[in-house]
Amino acid sequence: MTIQAIRAGSLVETVRQQLRLAILSGELPVGEAVRDSVVAARMEVSRAPVREALRALEQSGLVVKTPNKSYVVASFTPRDLVDLAGVRTALEGLASRLAVSARASPDGMEQALARLHEAVTADDAVAMVSTDRQFHEALVAASGNQRLVASYAQIRDQIELALHATDALTRGREGLVERHEELLAEYRAALTNRDLSTLLKLLEEHIAGGLGVPPLDV
């Protein structure tokens, strides 16, 4: 069980991390009510740090406040998914341009790809989504633009939850490693020929496909 009693450390951050992991692992599924009194009792803490942790999770998009002021695990409408794919495509596309311009090493992506391969081999669905995330985080980090990295950090939990909520692995488990290998190969090619057109198109299709929405019509 992810949620457990807290004995020491920063209460708010520890509560936030435990709830975050419970949500992203599916222990707290999409649409599930998250009551501060219940969480506080299970973690053996007061309700105050739980409330603060829930406010932080609301800011990161993992929970939403209902009209009666309680929280539920966030869900996604079709419009939400299209919007999320659009923002993600814009941020990762800009990151790709900056990374290639700086001739940034793909080491982080290579390491994440190796972990993704291990997750697929182990048939570990949670690890697959997590390592998929690490691959794309490595691409964004390669941009060297800390404001861009910070902007991406604001939506990365939503991306991971959306992938779980839309059952992305059922739709795209087959070929998951290969699709990321293709992205990495195109990144390497762009480093050589300075042409990002294929990489950006592939990235757009990859993101849209993962969230189950059509590619941007531009």
- Among the listed residues 100, 174, 154, the one whose alpha carbon sits nearest the alpha carbon of residue 209: 174
The answer, yes or no, to whether residue 1 has pLDDT greater than 70, is no
pLDDT for residue 146: 98
98 beta partners: none
Closest CA to 133 of 75, 196, 88, 77: 88
Q: What is the b/e burial string over 125-159, where b = at least 16 CB atoms within 10 angstroms of the residue's CB?
A: bebbbbbbbbbbbbbbbbbebeebbebbeebbbbb
Asked whether residue 22 carries a pLDDT value surpassing 90, the answer given is yes
73 DSSP β-pair partners: 63
Residue with tokens 């966030």: 74
Q: What is the pLDDT of residues 39-96, one digit of tens each?
A: 999 999 999 999 999 999 999 999 999 988 889 999 999 999 999 999 999 999 999 9
pLDDT tens digits, 104-139: 999 999 999 999 999 999 999 889 989 999 999 999
The beta-strand segments (E) located in the chain are 33-34, 63-65, 71-73
**Residue 97 to residue 134: CA distance in whole angstroms:** 19
Distance CA 76, CA 148 (A): 24
Question: Would you say residue 2 has pLDDT above 90?
Answer: no
Give me the domains of the chain, ranges plus CATH numbers.
11-73 (1.10.10.10), 78-211 (1.20.120.530)
Residues 6+ apart with CB under 8 A from 70: 33, 34, 35
Amino acid type, 194: R
Confidence of residue 7 (pLDDT cuts 50, 70, 90): low
